[in-house]
Amino acid sequence: MLNEKRVKHMVKLASYDTKYGSEDMKVSTYFKNDYISLNLLFTFLWTTVSYVILVALLGLSYMDLLLENLTLQKIIYIGGTVVGAYVVLLTVTLIIAGRYYKKKHLKARKHMKVYRANLDTLDHLYEQEAR
């Protein structure tokens, strides 16, 4: 005979598994600081690679303009501008990414807490039926 409470908990668990389960389980296996640090490292690497590609493409696009009347002062100015823009972009990107990944980890932990509570409830329902 089917227990209605047990079926309801099974449906809750199944719907959670299909929506969030795999991603939340991956995220919640890390400690918060480890998860944030790992993703900030990836963000740093991808931001750096993207910026280098962007600067290289812009440099190639405006090569004629850059090489006309090139002086040491212009080289220093362009280099300073490129490095300054990189530092600003990287700082803003890492701040935003840090906040995003912190929220994501906290949300995954919260979901997993509810999931485990539902699993415990389901386990208790099975134990009651077994008696």
Q: What would the pLDDT profile of 12-42 be if each residue is shown by its tens digit?
A: 888 888 887 878 888 888 899 999 999 999 9
Is the distance from CB of 126 to CB of 6 less than 8 angstroms? yes
Model pTM score: 0.80
d(CA 101, CA 91): 15
**If pLDDT is split at 50, 70 and 90, which confidence band does 2 have?**
low
Query: pLDDT of 41-86, one tens digit each?
Result: 999 999 999 999 999 999 999 998 888 888 999 999 999 999 999 9
pLDDT at 90 over 60: yes
**d(Cα 112, Cα 24) in Å, to the nearest integer?**
7
Q: Which residues contact 101 (CB under 8 A, 6 or more apart)?
A: 35, 36, 39, 40
